[in-house]
Structure 1
Amino acid sequence: MKRIIQLSAFFSIALLTVLAVWYFSDHQKQDDLAQDGLQAHMDEVFAEDITYTVSMFMDKMEDQLIRWSQHHTKEKDLSGLQEELHDHPHFHGFAVVHASGETTKVGNVTENPVDKLTKEKKEGVYISEPYVEKGTQKLLMGTKDGDDWCIGEMDLSFVSTFVKDLAVITGENGQFFLGASNMALDFDAQETEAPYVKKRIPELDWDVFVHSEPTIEPDAPYREGEVVVRLNEGNEGKELAKIHGVSLLDEEGRDCVFRDRTKNRTTEQLVAEFAQDPAVMFAEPNYSVEKQTSFHKKRSHPALDYKPRLIEPQQEGTTPNDELYDPYQWNLEQITVEEGWQITSGNEEIPIAIIDSGVDPEHVDLEDKIIGGYNAFENNENYYDEHGHGTHVAGVAAAVTNNVEGIAGVSWTNPILAVKALDANAEGNSFSIADAIRWSVDNGARVINMSLGDSHDSEVMRDAIRYAYEQDVVLIAASGNEAVETPMYPAAYPEVFTVAALDPDGQHAQFSNFGEHVDVSAPGEHIPSTYVGNEYVAMSGTSMASPHVAGLAGLILSINPELSNEEVYDIMRNSCNDIGDSGFDIYTGHGIINVTNAIKLANGQ
């Protein structure tokens, strides 16, 4: 049969361009069959995440089209829409085709658009087949208002960017139109068989195809030629750098990162050399650290009659009006949030630090929640997220809620400290994580979320964790996505509250790490949240499970700010719904978090 050229990227649970890829050099080895099974499952989860993301994107475009059709169809001059088009860059133009045949439009809309609306997406909403015009992949969407057609021309660039070279989407006729650029020219969707995962995007008749190859593990689990050193009192990093012929890359207190200028010494040689220096308390490698369904039908849209341009949370009721809450955020229903929100929706005095790849400071669902940030690589406030992972994590914990826009966060009110300790590839090191933890504590964080990890026990990171714990900070970390019992750090530190992932059926997610150190479980598959560029995507992984618990910790402290971190831990464990084996088990910990039970317990109920 005709074959697709295999995709080179490995999806670790659908976190876009290898988001949450937890590969470590000494992780527990599994037999080939088990590895193949896990990889196939990861491909399937990623394909489902794509279907979620595309469906959310199309629903948001549909909502916007309906709003425009309700407010502007009677106007002959649509120039007032020009600014709104600018605010919605996925639409190139909007047109009203009147019954008389006269067309008024703003922006760019292709010729004869009504003739191209050949497919009914849902009752009253029609779409065209995808097409390419001037090198841009586009789609028309239209709805009727009486005898007039209201039609928007959509740019599919975001969908294409999300899919990138990781998958391929075909239309109803089976022709390739979005996704991997390395597909064979003779691609035939009808002949594609396993190991390619195929998923259908509901209401569009589009198919997603995914297949990945195993990750090639790095030769070393640390930055070659670098060493982390803690100096004894009275010694200086610059002086030590001269003595050992190294460059001082970074310094925080008595901790230093050195790099060999000669490039002749290995990391092991540098560690051994510094360990013998009486000015040094300890030396270690600079370990690498990396980030870690059921389909809901489209809801009706009563909230679309009016949408405020200024995003101001509306504190009415406990069911938020965010446009993606009802149809897509199954995860919040699974942890029973709504009754708890009647007691508290958060507290502006209880910040949650997101130590990750940064946060998009201009995202409409996050910008009003960020009260400060830090870049652990540059030692400045440039916390912009170049990757997307941190922005997604931040939204799960604390997106602006009940503002008609996007998603709801677990916490409505708790502010965010955006701390960048992973780079554009969502990769960091033990020193950057330690620096980020200390900055978060010193700048008022009451809760720290760490959706990242490594299998190496770093002394510099351990000390930062102890520092935060001693300052009574609640420390939350993801267990990891390798389906192994191998301890991951910081999750395995006793001071850290560890979170495993569940699937939409409330079962232990196949990819989620396990062990005696797992405290609780939270939703971790197909989680809708914020993404860079004012977007929303679905991602999966223990990276997504962890911020559910960080948001809950923020709510608990909002009820009673005097609680210690251990008291918060006990409340979260004791309020869980037991799942899996009776009582504590190594796969789900004490069970799935129950937000309402936890808030009531914190409130003395």
Structure 2
Amino acid sequence: MRRIIGLSAFFSIALLTVLGVWFFSEHQQKDLAQDKQDGLQAHMDQVFADDVSYTVRMFMDKMEDQLIRWAESATQEDNLSNLQEEIHDHPHFHGFAVVHDNGETTKVGKVTENPVERLTKEKKEGVYISEPYVENGTQKLLMGTKDDQAWCIGEMDLSFVSSFVKDLAVITGENGQFFLGASNMAVDFDAQEAEAPYVKTSIPDLDWDVFVHSEPTKELDTPFKQGEVVVRIKDGADAKALAEAHQAALLHEEGNDCLFRDSSRSTDQLVSEFAADPGVIFAEPNYSVEKQTSFHKKRSHPALENKPSLFEPQQQEGKAPNDELYDPYQWNLEQITIEEGWQITSGNAEIPIAIIDSGVDPEHVDLEDKITGGYNAFEDNGNYYDEHGHGTHVAGVAAAITNNVEGIAGVSWENPILAVKALDANAEGNSFSIAEAIRWSVDNGARVINMSLGDSHDSEVMRDAVRYAYEQDVVLIAASGNEAVETPMYPAAYPEVFTVAALDPEGQRAAFSNFGTHVDVSAPGEHIPSTYIGNEYVAMSGTSMASPHVAGLAGLILSINPGLSNEEVYDIMRNSCDDIGNSGFDAYTGHGVINVTRAINMAGGE
């Protein structure tokens, strides 16, 4: 009996030891995973803070350029009558005033009283700004410049900056007071006491600070649209009869692919019931798909030490486009060695690039003349207007109008854009909308398709649409994803798709960029300046921004050699890269960073 008790005690102790080791190991792994997630979230917050700083700098520089031009006009003509139309066309300025040394003041539009007294800070030599202030519920700022005779002052509306930072950041002025950004962070916010988990960055020339603290991204309860099922029916089957038989609404029908909905049943029930129907080939959930925009912290890397720094003006040599934000802001185009390539080809109007995304702003000055067609995959019509901004930004990177003095330069100057809306106002879509967008793009002449979107669930209907495009010799480009994982994202992981990872300004893999053997190449993906809804320009980060650099390159390659197959284009882009990671191919940067000039030369037979 003692032996039995002794053995029982021994096994009890052993079991407790094993359980203790298991408990500690499991919880240690969970803690490590949580620490990794928290670290990535902090990186993302830091990158978004830098994006905000970058965007505010671009905005203020554009306003400064406008003010100086207007000041010269007012001085030359000694009146402001011609500026009324300018103010109407530039809504960020509420008004303009000329204040002479004797106190005589002439105004156009609305300018606050005693504006000269408010200009207390020199932004740079000859340009002064006020502290931000609120008037009639609107956040404003004065900017002025002075010649020998008078002050020329503009009153600016800062609503655009506030709308861009939304609920993710706070911007404080030189005195540390909250004045722009997230209302939920404004309560009891003290810039002097703000510390972790806030990240902070400064806005040069303004002495403003940006504070960011976002909540971790929550996983969706279900990775698909509840109550919806994607069904492929057999030839001869009647979709309406199928809907009636299964008591479900037929939302959309395209060929043999149908989308049904019944909110009273679970998705699993719908899939099971439709899959059992003899008239059905397959049934699957309508998987969610979203944009691939993210944020992360910069790190140094010696491999590209001669590339431009994000916050230092670039010194350009040779011919460069005259777009106002190209120098000093578009460091990304220098990183992909593009200027010499532009001397060979700037694109071809016969090689359209489809941007499958949240739509494109059809009225943006840097895009409107490039858009030759569009489609809304949700409504099955031509209403492709962008309600989010993501698609407009992606389109600008690939193919903004270039050398037009305005805004930014696109990778391709001449290739037209097909604006295809498959993500909604939250930049979210589904596998059915993406599949419809791909098929429409192919049927309407796209030679290149960019997809800065994805999800970790493989969808039969989306996979078949990708195969359809590939078989029509269309070049398919997709973002690798922004979760810093090896988990495949679709459509990027399909073998027919060319996958793009993201780099930071120093040429190192962005910390958020997904990796794996399916990654083909890398391109700039942090703090990328581009077009935005409302005729604006902002900086964004993510593999979403890396992908359109490559789509633009594919457009240039086909422009110089339209007879190339999609696989030949893929080979040229891989083989022309600058190797920046481990020697040769690696899962983090693929074959390296794209080299536009070398790729164009290879396409031309050199």
Judge same fold: TM > 0.5, yes or no.
Answer: yes
Question: Distance between the aligned counterparts of 1:183 and 1:572, measured in 2?
Answer: 45
Equivalent in the alignment of 1:272: 272
Which residue of 158, 161, 164 corresponds with 2:160? Answer: 158
> What amino acid maps onto 1:201 in structure 2?
I
Map 1:125-140 → 2, pairs under 5 A:
125-140=127-142
Which residue of 296, 315, 322 corresponds with 2:311? Answer: 296
SS of 2:369's partner is coil
Q: Kindly state the Cα deviation for residue 100 of structure 1 after the two structures are TM-superposed.
A: 2.5
Please identify, of 126-135 and 179-188, the stretch whose mean Cα deviation from structure 2 is larger: 179-188
> What amino acid maps onto 1:272 in structure 2?
S
Q: Is the 8 A contact 2:377 2:420 kept in 1?
A: yes
> What amino acid maps onto 2:519 in structure 1?
V
Equivalent in the alignment of 2:25: none
Alpha-carbon displacement from aligned partner over 1:323-363 (angstroms, at most 9, x marks no partner): 00011000000001000000000000000000000000000
Map 1:218-297 → 2, pairs under 5 A:
218-260=220-262, 263-292=263-292, 294-297=309-312
Q: Is the 8 A contact 2:375 2:384 kept in 1?
A: yes
Equivalent in the alignment of 2:3: none
Q: Is the 8 A contact 2:374 2:383 kept in 1?
A: yes
Q: Kindly state the Cα deviation for residue 298 of structure 1 after the two structures are TM-superposed.
A: 6.0
Equivalent in the alignment of 2:20: none
> What amino acid maps onto 1:202 in structure 2?
P
Q: Is the 8 A contact 1:318 1:341 kept in 2?
A: no
> What amino acid maps onto 1:172 in structure 2?
E
SS of 2:77's partner is coil
Question: Distance between the aligned counterparts of 2:427 and 2:180, measured in 1?
Answer: 25
Question: Distance between the aligned counterparts of 2:499 and 2:325, measured in 1?
Answer: 28
Q: Is the 8 A contact 2:357 2:422 kept in 1?
A: yes
Q: Kindly state the Cα deviation for residue 214 of structure 1 after the two structures are TM-superposed.
A: 1.3
Q: Kindly state the Cα deviation for residue 183 of structure 1 after the two structures are TM-superposed.
A: 2.6
> What amino acid maps onto 1:143 in structure 2?
T
Question: Distance between the aligned counterparts of 2:593 and 2:545, measured in 1?
Answer: 14
SS of 2:52's partner is helix
Map 1:114-513 → 2, pairs under 5 A:
114-260=116-262, 263-292=263-292, 294-297=309-312, 318-513=319-514
Equivalent in the alignment of 1:56: 58
Q: Kindly state the Cα deviation for residue 296 of structure 1 after the two structures are TM-superposed.
A: 3.1
Which residue of 96, 99, 105 corresponds with 2:98? Answer: 96
Q: Kindly state the Cα deviation for residue 134 of structure 1 after the two structures are TM-superposed.
A: 1.1
Q: Kindly state the Cα deviation for residue 144 of structure 1 after the two structures are TM-superposed.
A: 1.1
Q: Kindly state the Cα deviation for residue 111 of structure 1 after the two structures are TM-superposed.
A: 1.1
Q: Kindly state the Cα deviation for residue 300 of structure 1 after the two structures are TM-superposed.
A: 11
Identity of aligned residues (%): 82
Q: Is the 8 A contact 1:90 1:156 kept in 2?
A: yes
Q: Is the 8 A contact 1:225 1:270 kept in 2?
A: yes
Equivalent in the alignment of 1:4: none
> What amino acid maps onto 1:97 in structure 2?
V
Q: Kindly state the Cα deviation for residue 185 of structure 1 after the two structures are TM-superposed.
A: 3.5
Question: Distance between the aligned counterparts of 2:438 and 2:185, measured in 1?
Answer: 43
Q: Is the 8 A contact 1:393 1:529 kept in 2?
A: yes
> What amino acid maps onto 1:289 in structure 2?
V
Alpha-carbon displacement from aligned partner over 1:402-436 (angstroms, at most 9, x marks no partner): 00000000000000000000011111100000000
Q: Kindly state the Cα deviation for residue 29 of structure 1 after the two structures are TM-superposed.
A: 12
> What amino acid maps onto 2:251 in structure 1?
L
Q: Is the 8 A contact 2:398 2:548 kept in 1?
A: yes
Q: Is the 8 A contact 1:346 1:555 kept in 2?
A: yes
Equivalent in the alignment of 1:581: 582
Question: Distance between the aligned counterparts of 1:583 and 1:201, measured in 2?
Answer: 39
Q: Kindly state the Cα deviation for residue 99 of structure 1 after the two structures are TM-superposed.
A: 2.4
Question: Distance between the aligned counterparts of 1:300 and 1:57, measured in 2?
Answer: 21
SS of 1:342's partner is helix
Equivalent in the alignment of 1:522: 523
Q: Kindly state the Cα deviation for residue 297 of structure 1 after the two structures are TM-superposed.
A: 4.4
SS of 2:591's partner is coil
Counterparts in 2 of 1:497 and 1:30: CA distance versus 1, 3 Å: farther
> What amino acid maps onto 2:344 in structure 1?
I
Please identify, of 522-531 and 91-100, the stretch whose mean Cα deviation from structure 2 is larger: 91-100
> What amino acid maps onto 1:100 in structure 2?
N
Question: Distance between the aligned counterparts of 1:184 and 1:50, measured in 2?
Answer: 17
Question: Distance between the aligned counterparts of 2:348 and 2:174, measured in 1?
Answer: 49
Question: Distance between the aligned counterparts of 1:536 and 1:29, measured in 2?
Answer: 40
The aligned length equals 561
Q: Is the 8 A contact 2:146 2:152 kept in 1?
A: yes
Q: Is the 8 A contact 1:69 1:145 kept in 2?
A: no
Question: Distance between the aligned counterparts of 2:188 and 2:251, measured in 1?
Answer: 50
SS of 1:417's partner is strand
Higher relative contact order (CA 8 A, sep 6+): 1
Higher helix proportion (structure 1 or 2): 2
Equivalent in the alignment of 2:11: none
SS of 1:414's partner is coil
Alpha-carbon displacement from aligned partner over 1:149-204 (angstroms, at most 9, x marks no partner): 11100000001111111110000000000011113543210111111101000000
Question: Distance between the aligned counterparts of 2:423 and 2:205, measured in 1?
Answer: 37
Question: Distance between the aligned counterparts of 1:419 and 1:180, measured in 2?
Answer: 31
Counterparts in 2 of 1:439 and 1:30: CA distance versus 1, 3 Å: farther
SS of 2:240's partner is helix
SS of 1:94's partner is strand
Q: Is the 8 A contact 1:76 1:104 kept in 2?
A: no
Q: Is the 8 A contact 2:314 2:331 kept in 1?
A: no
> What amino acid maps onto 2:142 in structure 1?
L
Q: Kindly state the Cα deviation for residue 318 of structure 1 after the two structures are TM-superposed.
A: 3.5
SS of 1:507's partner is coil
SS of 2:185's partner is coil
Equivalent in the alignment of 2:19: none
Alpha-carbon displacement from aligned partner over 1:213-265 (angstroms, at most 9, x marks no partner): 212211110011110000011001101001111100111100000112xx332
Q: Kindly state the Cα deviation for residue 30 of structure 1 after the two structures are TM-superposed.
A: 7.4
1:546 maps onto 2:547 in alignment: yes
> What runs of 5+ residues in structure 2 fail to find an aligned partner?
1-29, 293-297, 299-308
> What amino acid maps onto 1:226 in structure 2?
E
> What amino acid maps onto 2:424 in structure 1?
D
Equivalent in the alignment of 1:8: none
> What amino acid maps onto 1:393 in structure 2?
V
TM-score normalized with structure 1 length? 0.91
Q: Kindly state the Cα deviation for residue 270 of structure 1 after the two structures are TM-superposed.
A: 1.0
> What amino acid maps onto 1:363 in structure 2?
H
Counterparts in 2 of 1:113 and 1:297: CA distance versus 1, 3 Å: farther
Question: Distance between the aligned counterparts of 2:458 and 2:314, measured in 1?
Answer: 47
After superposing on structure 2, the runs of 4+ consecutive aligned residues of structure 1 that deviate more than 4 Å are 297-301
